[in-house]
Amino acid sequence: MSTPASNPILIQPVPAPAQGESGFLASAFTPRALGIALGMVACLALAGEAWAQLTVGGERPGILATLWKWTPLILLGPPREFGGFALNILVSFLAMAIGTVSGLALGLGLISKFAPVRSVSWAITQFFRNSPWLVLLFFVMLLTPFQMRIGGVTIPFPAWFKATIGLALPIMANIAEIVRGAVNSIPTGQWESAESLAFSRLQTLWRIILPQCVKRMIPPWMNWYAILTMATPLISIVGVNDAMTLTQDALASEQRTELLMPMYGMLLLFFFVYCYPIARWTIRLERKYAVRN
């Protein structure tokens, strides 16, 4: 029912492109890749521009001008409302925070000495790791109330917040796996020596084991953050005003086919510009910590 337990790869979907080209990758490659991406969008815009000139003549605003016109909306959402790409980022931050805290707890459950806790944690982890994100998102959207009354206070759950919870669930399960893997990678000698110094199990975990785990957990943790960020457009499917939704709204109001490629291309570019440096940075950290260990 589960992917094999020995898979740090889910934590880290792709091994860093190895080879002794770290300098090449870290320095020369970044601007080049960004250049390729920018070039792609520029080409799409120009192609669309040419197409527009050929088919409808020059009376409508140009492609680039139109892209520029919609950029504030897609990045920041409608005036006096929060949305757009900024909402994608906010959702990614919140889901990561919730997923990390709950994942840490679940991960400690996975290594608990108490068997029932261990089995329940295992079942929860496997369930959320192996379920499709979109299904979990629907699950939370449709099956949680839109508000909750505690005492006399009504706490509203707006759609974007429910979506955040939906995205936090798979993150929680994967963070739990990272925690379990990292704790297991600490030699048992550390536990034994702590025990001989009369540390309790919890003290050992908190003061000795986890601090040593942090370094090895950071690269996979960042990797999951990037995966999460790239999953945030899913919230557009369940009706949240994110960058994806607003891009489609903009396209709907423009009704110009020559805008399709540049607009979607621009959205891809926003995500690329945000996620690519994170990916590079993750690889750098991975290398750095790999050498020390």
The residues binding another protein (CB under 8 A) are: 1-4, 6-7, 9-10, 13-15, 17-19, 29, 32-33, 36-37, 40, 127, 130-135, 138-139, 142-143, 226, 229-234, 236-237, 244, 248, 251, 257, 260-261, 263-265, 267-268, 271-272, 275-276, 279
We find the least distance from the C-beta atom of residue 84 to another protein, in angstroms, to be 14
We find the least distance from the C-beta atom of residue 189 to another protein, in angstroms, to be 24
We find the least distance from the C-beta atom of residue 116 to another protein, in angstroms, to be 22
> Contact at 8 Å (CB) between 89 and 96?
no
- Cα–Cα dist 194/216, whole Å: 21
We find the least distance from the C-beta atom of residue 199 to another protein, in angstroms, to be 35
- Cα–Cα dist 36/49, whole Å: 19
In the block, tokens 């550390």 appear at: 190
Residue 87 vs 210, nearer CB to another protein: 87
Residue 204 vs 241, nearer CB to another protein: 241
**CA distances to 45, 72, 82, 144, 154 from 66, in Å:** 10, 11, 22, 39, 43
We find the least distance from the C-beta atom of residue 71 to another protein, in angstroms, to be 16
> Contact at 8 Å (CB) between 242 and 88?
yes
Residue 74 vs 182, nearer CB to another protein: 74
Residue 131 vs 212, nearer CB to another protein: 131
Residue 176 vs 234, nearer CB to another protein: 234
Q: Is the sign of the CA dihedral 73, 76, 78, 80 positive or negative?
A: negative
Q: Roughly what angle, to the nearest 10 degrees, separates helices 243-254 and 260-292?
A: 160
We find the least distance from the C-beta atom of residue 32 to another protein, in angstroms, to be 8
In terms of DSSP H, where are the helices of the chain? Answer: 8-11, 22-23, 30-56, 63-76, 84-110, 115-130, 133-143, 159-185, 188-196, 201-203, 210-231, 243-254, 260-292
Residue 14 vs 153, nearer CB to another protein: 14
CB neighbours of 163 closer than 8 A, spacing ≥ 6? Answer: 91, 137, 140, 141, 235, 238, 240
> Contact at 8 Å (CB) between 107 and 116?
no
We find the least distance from the C-beta atom of residue 226 to another protein, in angstroms, to be 7
Residue 186 vs 268, nearer CB to another protein: 268
Residue 108 vs 136, nearer CB to another protein: 136
Q: Is the sign of the CA dihedral 9, 10, 14, 18 positive or negative?
A: negative
We find the least distance from the C-beta atom of residue 205 to another protein, in angstroms, to be 28
